[in-house]
């Protein structure tokens, strides 16, 4: 009798384990099939190891470097130090217009293969003496975006010109002027400004950002990646269309109760990048991520990758993590995608088309599960 009970218990445990395994697989498949919206992706950090290896060979760098060592670095992603090596490698390889074109095309295709239907790419234009001007950098990205309208028809792509705060006022002013000019030259392709860079250095250029808004550009600003209540409030008072990260807002993560309340009252959507924050050590773990505080408060949020190449992730993986860690159901994930469409810098016509794609997906999923 006791042996029979034990056998039954073991079978129940085995069945529960199988159901759990099936659920994880179902969630993974669902998150991949889900039509997703990516609103926070940096070009160079999004380059995959495969793309970087292509550029590496294209530039014949193996004559001067050990390609085997390089391959180990881009495959492991085993420490924060190696993540920063990846940033450095990506920048060193994207030093001419053709490399920028190739990276942009590949990043767009990889996002499309992950069933991302709308992508906002952001990048700081760079001049490389004798090889590339800032204008050529931007033109190469736009050429890739236009090329992908034919080769990758299932994804809408927009460009945000980045302002790197550590590069100083003159560079910020130059980049914003470039953004204004290219938004006029390529309306619908260049749609906004990204304020980013080392949060411990430089300024946030409030007046310059106001100038860009006057010219019709949207603003997505990195904010509160390190504790700095005064600067966080300055950015909040600027009222950007979206905020990035906002790691140190909640009192449990280096912020204050009053700061968290002010951000929640603003209703400005926040781009949350779970794996990026965990791997950069700005939050202790996924469980401790500030996603839970903003989500539970009903604040507008979207899920993003930040740098999918550097952090070895995808938007599907980020949705899967959010669901597993914070108990989000499938309808919650769909709702986040719907909201993200509204927070995007797409045109109203594009938003309606994207929303239709999501509604059609949801209808098919409900039909399958019924």
d(CA 141, CA 194): 15
Pairing status of strand 156-164 against strand 301-303: unpaired
- CA-nearest of 115, 209, 227 to 162 is 209
Residue 153 sits at φ, ψ, to 5 deg, of: -70, -15
| Token pair 């095309």: residue | 105
Active site residue: 120, 139, 225, 271, which one? 225
Residues present in the chain in total: 370
Residue 219 sits at φ, ψ, to 5 deg, of: -125, 125
Distances (CA, A) of 333 to 37, 189, 307: 11, 27, 21
Residue 144 sits at φ, ψ, to 5 deg, of: -65, -40
Buried b vs exposed e over 207-236: b needs ≥16 C-beta within 10 Å? ebbebbbeeebbbbbbbbbebbbebbbebb
d(CA 60, CA 106): 20
Known active-site residue 229:
no
Complete edge-to-edge strand list for the sheet that includes strand 36-42: 36-42, 116-123, 156-164, 190-196, 218-223, 242-245, 270-272, 301-303
The H-assigned helical ranges of 77-199 are 80-93, 97-113, 134-151, 169-185
* CB-based contact 334:322 (threshold 8 Å): no
d(CA 143, CA 321): 34
* CB-based contact 133:127 (threshold 8 Å): yes
CA quadruple 319, 229, 285, 43: dihedral sign: positive
- The total of other beta-carbon atoms located within 10 Å of residue 59's CB is 15
The residues annotated as belonging to the active site are 225
């Amino acid at each position: 009798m006791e042996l029979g009970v034990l056998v039954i218990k073991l079978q129940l445990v085995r069945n529960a384990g199988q159901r759990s395994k099936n659920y994880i697989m179902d969630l993974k498949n669902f998150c991949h099939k889900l039509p997703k919206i990516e609103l926070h992706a940096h070009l160079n950090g999004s380059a995959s190891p495969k793309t970087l290896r292509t550029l590496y060979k294209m530039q014949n760098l193996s004559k001067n470097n050990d390609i085997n060592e390089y391959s180990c670095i881009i495959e492991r992603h085993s420490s924060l130090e190696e993540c920063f090596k990846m940033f450095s490698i990506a920048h060193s390889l994207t030093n001419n217009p053709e490399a920028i074109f190739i990276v942009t095309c590949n990043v767009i295709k990889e996002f499309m293969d992950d069933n991302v239907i709308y992508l906002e790419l952001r990048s700081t234009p760079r001049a490389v003496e004798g090889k590339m001007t800032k204008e050529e950098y931007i033109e190469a990205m736009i050429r890739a975006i236009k090329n992908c309208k034919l080769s990758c028809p299932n994804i809408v792509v927009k460009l945000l010109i980045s302002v790197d705060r550590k590069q100083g006022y003159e560079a910020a002013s130059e980049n914003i002027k470039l953004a204004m000019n290219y938004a006029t030259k390529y309306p619908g392709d260049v749609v906004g400004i990204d304020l980013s860079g080392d949060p411990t250095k430089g300024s946030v250029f409030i007046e310059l950002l106001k100038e860009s808004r006057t010219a019709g550009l949207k603003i997505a600003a990195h904010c509160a990646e390190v504790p700095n209540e005064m600067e966080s409030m300055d950015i909040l008072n600027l009222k950007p269309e979206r905020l990035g990260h906002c790691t140190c807002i909640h009192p449990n993560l280096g912020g204050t109760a009053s700061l968290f309340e002010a951000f929640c009252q603003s209703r400005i959507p926040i781009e949350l990048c779970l794996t990026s924050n965990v791997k950069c050590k700005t939050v202790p773990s996924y469980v401790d991520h500030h996603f839970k505080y903003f989500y539970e408060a009903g604040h507008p949020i979207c899920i993003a990758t930040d740098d999918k190449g550097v952090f070895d992730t995808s938007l599907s993986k980020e949705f899967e993590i959010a669901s597993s860690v914070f108990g989000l159901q499938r309808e919650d994930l769909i709702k986040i995608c719907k909201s993200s469409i509204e927070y995007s810098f797409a045109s109203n016509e594009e938003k309606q088309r994207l929303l239709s794609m999501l509604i059609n997906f949801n209808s098919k999923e409900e039909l399958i599960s019924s």
